[in-house]
Structure 1
Amino acid sequence: MSSTTRDRILDALEGVLIERGPSAVTLESVAAAAGVSKGGLLYHFPSKGAMMTGLVRRLAERAEQEFAAARDSPEGVARFFLRTSVPGTVAEAELYWSVIAALRSKEGVPPEAAELIGRMFEQWSRLLHEELGDPVLAETIRLVGDGLYLSAIAGLPQPDPRLLERVLDRLTARADAARSSGGAGDGSEGAWA
């Protein structure tokens, strides 16, 4: 069995999570969706937990590509982060919501998977702190971005688009000012006047 079979299994796992939710994830349901035997699935993933960890690892690899794109972006990490803080597709939102739900249920999901998700969120925080140098501004941007993302994947009401645009404009203006000053912001309250 090749690595393409492994990818097909992970694609099938994503599909089951999106279409039927975490409670529908079994070795049998994923094997059937992937078009492989249960033995073929077990060759790549010896348990449901290993399969979920494999999926989270793949999501972490995608996140690493996004971190690199943010670091290399001429718009800067903060603008990149805020611009991408809402899932690009309904499928992406449903996938991350299902993964988080599976992690929260702790049903056969190893701690490693939760740690990987946590590291993805922590990496955004590190990148923002490195770029901005102002811990208050960096955390404010991180919290806004995380809040937008988590609200979107949870299906919660979204802010008025005009108000959200004003919020993001204000934050990105502060981020641009911090970047142009070499990240020398002191995080004082005066910066928010």
Structure 2
Amino acid sequence: MSSTTRDRILDALEGVLIEQGPSAATLESVADAAGVSKGGLLYHFPTKGAMTTGLVRRLAARAEEEFAAARRSPEGVARFFLRTSLPGTAEEAELYWSVIAALRSKEGVPAEAAELIGRMFEQWSRLLHEELGDPVLAETIRLVGDGLYLSAIAGLPQPDPRLLERVLEHLTARADAARSVGGDGAAPADSVD
């Protein structure tokens, strides 16, 4: 568990969301899970919406680390994005599903939280466009990655693994070709069949 009270509260919120879902994430349940009084929780997060925003800020900071890793990756942003387009763990899937469900409920969740989630998705789009220079290919890759991730966290049926492997190989081959052109827009805009 993290060292500060604020971090302990956010850790507890993550735990409650993963184990019990967004409806169980009350101020009382999170305070209890964090081992703090409700007053202690309210000192750091005066509302459930503030607490949710705090968690989304934490997720956004983690996403920034992932964006930096994608930029540094010798495999390129597109391959990195597609390779990481499935939740790494069941807990990650539950956490993001719960956060999205909480945002969709609009029950006291500040607009900042939804905007931060939106920016995470937009940043992947920007990185793919910058690397590939082919807007159709960049958006195709983004939509495939987002679709895989969102389908997985929603518990929807996943594609046949062999077919998915062929789809990803096709897209990464196209991405490699676009990268070799330089990602400066020189790739033809209709490069995706």
TM-score, scaled relative to structure 2: 0.96
Q: CA deviation at 1:81?
A: 0.1
Alignment root-mean-square deviation, CA:
1.1
2:123 aligns to what? Answer: 123
> 2-side partners of 1:192 and 1:13: how far apart?
42
Which of residues 172, 183, 187 is equivalent to 1:185? 187
1:43 aligns to what? Answer: 43
Q: CA deviation at 1:3?
A: 6.3
> 2-side partners of 1:170 and 1:24: how far apart?
42
> 2-side partners of 1:20 and 1:52: how far apart?
15
Q: 1:139 to 1:119 in 2, by over 3 A?
A: same
1:12 aligns to what? Answer: 12
> 2-side partners of 1:98 and 1:171: how far apart?
30
Q: How does 1:125-164 map to 2 (within 5 A)?
A: 125-164=125-164
1:91 equivalent to 2:91? Answer yes
Cα deviation 1:46-94 (Å, max 9, x = unaligned): 1101000000000000000000000000000000000000000000000
Cα deviation 1:108-153 (Å, max 9, x = unaligned): 1111100000000000000000000000000000000000000000
Query: Does the 8 A contact of 2:137 with 2:192 survive in 1?
Result: no
Query: Does the 8 A contact of 2:136 with 2:192 survive in 1?
Result: no
Identity of aligned residues (%): 88
- Partner amino acid for 1:186? P
Unaligned runs of 5+ in 1: none
Q: CA deviation at 1:19?
A: 1.1
> 1-side partners of 2:91 and 2:56: how far apart?
16
> 2-side partners of 1:67 and 1:19: how far apart?
28
Which SS does the other structure have where 2:4 is aligned?
helix
2:71 aligns to what? Answer: 71
> 2-side partners of 1:90 and 1:192: how far apart?
33
1:105 aligns to what? Answer: 105
> 2-side partners of 1:139 and 1:176: how far apart?
15
- Partner amino acid for 2:189? G
2:57 aligns to what? Answer: 57
Question: Which is further off, 38-47 or 68-77?
Answer: 38-47
How many pairs align? 190
Which SS does the other structure have where 2:159 is aligned?
coil
- Partner amino acid for 1:170? H
> 2-side partners of 1:65 and 1:177: how far apart?
26
> 1-side partners of 2:104 and 2:192: how far apart?
36
Q: CA deviation at 1:186?
A: 2.1
Which SS does the other structure have where 2:128 is aligned?
helix
- Partner amino acid for 2:42? L
- Partner amino acid for 2:113? A
1:165 equivalent to 2:161? Answer no
Question: Which is further off, 95-104 or 40-49?
Answer: 40-49
